[in-house]
Amino acid sequence: MTFKILRGVLKMALEAAKDMHPHEFVALLGGKGELINELVFLPFQSGSVSAIIHMDMLPIGMRVLGTIHSHPSPNATPSQEDLQMFARFGKVHIIVAYPYGEDDWKCYDRSGQPTEIEVVEGSSEERF
């Protein structure tokens, strides 16, 4: 399955990472089918080396495609804690890294292997 993410959603995540720097941010990737068309922000705790999202606050029935979070360093490689989160929530996971430019991110599958994701134009109302 090849996932797609709306360019505006990715830009919003990069901006959130900039706003939170030097702390990490974390959000869920929402959408339908293979299209990620929203960031789902739940309460989370954040520091310079971790971010913990409160999944118990997820609305019942909401489908989570994956996660997105920031690393306040140029390293977008998943940590052991990241890999544990990847295995528990969704199928696609994005790490955005400092300095949070359009090319400063990587995507991984639930086992932590790098995977491709297509950035597409469109509006958040689009559904596959």
In angstroms, rounded to a whole number, what is the distance separating the alpha carbons of residues 84 and 65? 16
Would you please indicate which residues are annotated as catalytic (active-site) residues? 24
Strands 51-53 and 64-71: unpaired
List, for residues 67-94, the tens digit of each pLDDT value.
Answer: 999 999 999 999 999 998 899 888 999 9
Q: What are phi and psi of 121, to 5 degrees?
A: -85, 155
List, for residues 18-62, the tens digit of each pLDDT value.
Answer: 998 998 888 999 998 999 999 988 655 554 555 565 556 566 666
For the chain, the structural domain boundaries read: 3-45+63-120
Homologous superfamily assigned to 3-45+63-120: Cytidine Deaminase, domain 2 (3.40.140.10)
In angstroms, rounded to a whole number, what is the distance separating the alpha carbons of residues 96 and 64? 18
CA-to-CA dists, residue 74 to 27, 47, 128, angstroms: 19, 16, 33
